[in-house]
Amino acid sequence: MPPIRPFRNAYFFKIAAFTIGLSIIPLLILTGFGLFQFDNAIEKLTTYQLDLTVENVLEQKYALLVKESASINAGFAHVESDLLLLQTQAATLLSENPAADSLPSLTLVDRPAGYRWEPMVRPEEANIFLSASAPRSDAFYRRLRNIKRLSPLLAQAANNEPLVDSFYFCFPESAWLTYPAMDIDYEVSIHKLPADLRLENYDFYRFMTPAYNPERKLRWSPPYDDVSHWDRVVTAAAPVYLPSGQFAGMVAADYPMAHIARHILSLQFTEPNAFAFIIDDKGRLIAGQEKTPEPLPPASLRQVLEERQGIQRIALSQGAAYHMYAPIANTGWFLNFVIPEQDIREPFIAHSTEQISRLLHDFSHSFFAYVAVVSLVLVFFSYRFSKTVTEPVRRLTEAFRESSQGKRIAPVPVVTKDELGQLTATFNQMNETIHSLITELNNRATRLEERVLERTQEIQAANQQLQATYQQLKQTEASRTELIAQISHDLKTPLTVMKAGLQILEKYDLTQEERIDLTDRVKRQTRQITQLIDDLFELSTMELQT
């Protein structure tokens, strides 16, 4: 027999399997729904935390941006403060008319190219340069000697600002006093400084003239290539006016772009593709890190110039990025940070993925342990429940088996009041009824046998009487013999049927209907025998009478 058949035929296992399945399937459905909700909640929480992280990172970077712009602006503000002091002092000195013998002396050297200059004695001193286009009048020389009294203040300003290349005063006549001293011959020889320099042709001077700066404000120039070996610089300049309102020149400071670039390059970002740069109020690049990409989109640039400070999300060729900007107030420039969105999201996503994987691993272990415990509990209670159903069925099955064998069985205990209890009580009643009927049939069979025996004895007595009168009935011997033979045959047939019926009742467990039918047949045969006996008695009486 295949091993699966006992399981299929076992009512207990069917109930147990059905109960366990009915319990575990909703648990699995609930578990699946719970895992779905858990995953959905984790996704929403991760998205929220990611947005919060991006917001926090942007706030931190923006605070750094504002701090750095303030730091750069503070350096420029120091330069401006020194220039304003020089502006005031230069205006004062040029408005005075001291005695000639109280003015510093000039030792100017003429050069074949037409320019004149004070040769350098020490680099830490100031010296004067006159372009070939500058006038050679005594009045102008007196003004040169007068402005040379500004040298100590130029030196002090330069010492205060170590990042500034030089502080100087420029005359409209294309001459200047500069600190530290310039090697004019060298600058001319390398073709950086034109011998016939005309200041009005250079933006760093022209943007201070009354035509371009009627407000007489201190201004910063765009970056440009200097007329000296210092390469690219930006110039902060302040116009100097005499009390009469005449433009007398300007005081200025050259700030090397290399210093600004070094400051920008020194900014370190945790995001690998982030970068910083400075633009002016026209959107032109002042300085930037090597990773500075293509120019900003026009709409983004307009927003920078209009809002001056803030954060915007922009689209670059490398993908989406956050662009934050803050003004460097004194110069009109803007410090900018660009941080690719992916650089902010990827570390958080990687960390979140690792954390979620760890949580899911721990959760799955706890969950499967919980499912195992719940399954064991369900199996135990399913077993107990199925036993309460199958045990009465098993007792009934055993009782039916014994009853079918004709055994007298005790009533099956009724332990419940449900349908199984009612079935057991009905079985007990049926079993009691069957045994009562069997007892009644047995009693009736016994009584029938007794009556048959009595009738048989009566027949035997009649036969004896017939034998006594045999001689008297000789003339009717043939007919009487035939009659007796016929009567004997008629008696034997009912008796045979009755005997067979009694044997069937003894050997077989018949239904109530079958027992009643068999009893009726026995009764009919009994009546037939009785009738035969009555007929025989009547015949015997008649014979006696004859």
Range 233-253 average pLDDT:
94
Least confident of 241-245, 284-288, 405-409, 536-540: 405-409
Contact criterion met (CB below 8 Å) for 368 and 397: no
* Residue-wise burial string across 205-215, b where 16 or more C-beta atoms lie within 10 A, e elsewhere: bebbeeeebee
Specify the pLDDT at position 292. 61
Domain locations in the chain as residue ranges: 96-261, 419-545
If you average pLDDT over each of 61-70, 88-97, 286-295, which comes out highest?
Answer: 88-97
Average pLDDT over residues 362-374: 74
Residue 214's pLDDT is what? 94
Does 279 or 382 have the greater pLDDT score? 279
Give per-residue pLDDT as tens, 489-523: 777 777 787 888 788 877 887 788 888 888 888 88
The least confident of 90-94, 223-227, 427-431, 471-475 is 471-475
Contact present, 462 and 470 (Cβ < 8 Å): no
Tell which wins on pLDDT, 198 or 407. 198
Q: Give the pLDDT band of residue 7 (cuts 50, 70, 90).
A: very low
DSSP 8-state symbol, 411: P
pLDDT exceeds 80 at position 172:
yes
Say which residue the tokens 């286009």 belong to.
133
pLDDT band, residue 92 (cuts 50/70/90): very high
State yes or no: pLDDT of 2 exceeds 50: no
- Would strands 319-328 and 166-171 be described as parallel, antiparallel, or unpaired? unpaired
Which of 520, 522, 442, 535 lies closest to 487, judged by CA?
A: 535
For residues 169-190, average pLDDT: 93
- DSSP assignment of 146-199, as one string? HHGGGHHHHHHHHHH-TT-SEEEEEETTTEEEEESPP-HHHHHHTTSS-TT--G
**The most confident of 167-176, 361-370, 401-410, 477-486, by mean pLDDT:** 167-176
Question: How far is the C-alpha of 136 from the C-alpha of 392, rounded, in Å?
Answer: 136
Read off the pLDDT of each residue in 385-409 and give the average, rounded to a whole number: 69
Confidence of residue 429 (pLDDT cuts 50, 70, 90): confident
Residue 381: predicted pLDDT: 67
Mean pLDDT of the 523-528 span:
83
Output the pLDDT for position 281: 81
113 pLDDT tier (thresholds 50, 70, 90): very high
120-129, 339-348, 419-428: range with lowest mean pLDDT:
419-428
What value does the mean pLDDT of the chain take? 81
What pLDDT, on the 0 to 100 scale, is given for residue 345? 83
Which of the listed ranges 81-90, 296-305, 323-332, 513-522 does the model predict with the highest average pLDDT?
A: 81-90
Residues 485-490, mean pLDDT to the nearest whole number: 73
| Alpha carbon distances (Å) from 42 to 39, 159, 365, 423 | 5, 60, 18, 56
5 falls in which pLDDT band (50, 70, 90)? very low
Tell me the pLDDT band of 175, cut-offs 50, 70 and 90. very high
In the structure encoding, which two tokens stand for residue 198, read together?
Answer: 């005309």
Most confident of 10-14, 72-76, 207-211: 207-211
Handedness of CA 150, 250, 99, 117 (dihedral sign): positive
pLDDT of residue 199 exceeding 90, the answer is yes
pLDDT score for 134:
94
CA nearest neighbour of 273 among 261, 295, 290, 291: 291
User: Looking at residue 15, what is its pLDDT?
Assistant: 65
Distance of CA 545 to the CA centre of its chain: 123
pLDDT, residue 204, reads: 87
Find the angle CA(323)-CA(326)-CA(328) to the nearest 5 degrees.
140
Distance CA 174, CA 205 (A): 10
DSSP 335: E
pLDDT at 12 over 60: no
Q: What is the pLDDT of residue 238?
A: 96
Question: Which helix (H) or strand (E) is 502 found in, with range?
Answer: helix 477-507
Query: pLDDT above 90 covers what percent of the chain?
Result: 24
pLDDT in tens, 21-38: 666 777 678 777 766 776
CATH superfamily assigned to domain 96-261: PAS domain (3.30.450.20)
- In percent, the amount of the chain with pLDDT more than 70 equals 85
